[in-house]
């Protein structure tokens, strides 16, 4: 009782010092966040947002019970909470480059064990870029090719960071989650060695609006991953609701879905994609059946 009272008093003091500081009941714990972060209202209005990741972890865990998850674009740690709710023993490696988001990630990650933080921006190759940030502090969106840029950042390849800092976890990496506002394709290309070796299920944001701003060819990633043995993809609406599934050989359908959701004229803002290697088709089928059932029995309407 005294401990709970202390936590409540501490939250009240922090809120007075920083009026934007907030906490939200989230998957059985309290998630610290800045109320100006778009995630605050997103989870208020769409409580099921990102919940498909937790259900995915549970299905993966049936086959691979010694599980390591890579969370790129970990933001404040919201998906970390979802992953840990599904498998408290999972190793989770969180990547976040933004200083402000990382400060919240550190606080939220302290709730758990087996969580490893890496303050890095990731990309296709190791380089230093002059860039502009859109939505800095909250949903960092890297904008390339804008003159000289107003900020310089160091980009690292996922393959190199894993080899240099987290090599002991490499054999157990079975889920790679990427959510980086359109920079996802570049990050996957920088992790192809790990992808080829560990064949993780890949969950990433396919944001055409952000990709188009940086002239990133999103469609090319499907052929690339197909060459590495991936053959099934699930499309989710941006609130986390299953839309459909198909095989990577069905590029005509994938191309149509790419064109349909442009982030400008479409009702759906972007896709979240989940890709499975052919060796994990058993997981894909179980997960797909579960998501169809969940879709049919749960409302994703605005609260």
Average pLDDT over residues 270-282: 98
Alpha-carbon gap, residue 126 to 193, rounded angstroms: 15
Burial of 94 (0-12, 13-18, 19+ CB in 10 A): buried
Q: Are strands 141-143 and 121-123 parallel, antiparallel or unpaired?
A: unpaired
Alpha-carbon gap, residue 71 to 77, rounded angstroms: 9
Q: CATH fold of 15-297, please? A: Rossmann fold (3.40.50)
Positive or negative torsion for Cα 5, 7, 11, 14: positive
Alpha-carbon gap, residue 276 to 245, rounded angstroms: 11
- Which DSSP letter does residue 126 get? S
What per-residue confidence (pLDDT) applies to 137? 56
Cβ proximity of 131 and 182 under 8 Å: no
Average pLDDT taken over every residue of the chain: 91
Domain ranges of the chain: 15-297
Question: Minimal CA–CA distance to 50: which of 281, 205, 181?
Answer: 205
Average pLDDT over residues 233-260: 98
Question: Minimal CA–CA distance to 94: which of 110, 124, 108, 73?
Answer: 73
List the single range of 7-16, 32-41, 56-65 with lowest mean pLDDT.
7-16
Rg of the chain taking only CA atoms, in angstroms: 19
Average pLDDT over residues 71-96: 98
pTM: predicted TM-score of the whole model, two decimal places: 0.91
What per-residue confidence (pLDDT) applies to 212? 93
Q: Tell me how long the chain is.
A: 303
What per-residue confidence (pLDDT) applies to 143? 66
For residue 4, pLDDT over 90 is answered with no
């Amino acid at each position: 009782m005294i401990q709970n009272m202390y936590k409540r008093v501490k939250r009240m003091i922090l809120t007075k010092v920083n009026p934007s500081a907030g906490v939200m009941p989230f998957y059985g714990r309290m998630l610290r966040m800045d109320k100006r972060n778009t995630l605050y209202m997103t989870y208020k209005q769409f409580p099921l947002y990102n919940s498909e990741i937790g259900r995915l972890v549970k299905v993966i865990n049936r086959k691979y019970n010694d599980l390591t998850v890579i969370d790129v674009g970990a933001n404040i740690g919201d998906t970390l909470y979802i992953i840990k709710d599904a498998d408290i023993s999972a190793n989770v490696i969180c990547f976040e480059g933004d200083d402000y988001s990382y400060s919240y990630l550190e606080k939220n990650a302290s709730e758990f064990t087996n969580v490893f933080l890496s303050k890095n921006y990731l990309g296709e190759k190791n380089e230093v870029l002059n860039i502009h940030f859109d939505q800095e502090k909250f949903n960092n969106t890297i904008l390339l090719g804008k003159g000289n840029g107003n900020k310089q950042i160091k980009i690292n390849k996922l393959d190199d960071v894993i080899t240099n800092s987290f090599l002991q976890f490499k054999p157990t990496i079975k889920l790679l989650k990427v959510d980086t506002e359109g920079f996802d394709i570049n990050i996957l290309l920088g992790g192809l060695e790990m992808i080829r070796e560990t064949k993780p299920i890949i969950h990433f944001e396919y944001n055409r609006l952000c990709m188009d701003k940086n002239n990133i060819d999103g469609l090319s990633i499907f052929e690339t991953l197909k060459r590495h043995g991936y053959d099934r993809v699930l499309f989710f609406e941006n609130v986390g609701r299953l839309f459909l599934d198909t095989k990577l050989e069905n590029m005509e359908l994938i191309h149509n879905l790419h064109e349909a959701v442009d982030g400008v004229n479409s009702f759906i803002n972007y896709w979240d994609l989940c890709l499975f290697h052919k060796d994990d088709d058993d997981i894909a089928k179980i997960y797909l059946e579960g998501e169809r059932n969940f879709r049919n029995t749960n409302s994703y309407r605005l609260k």
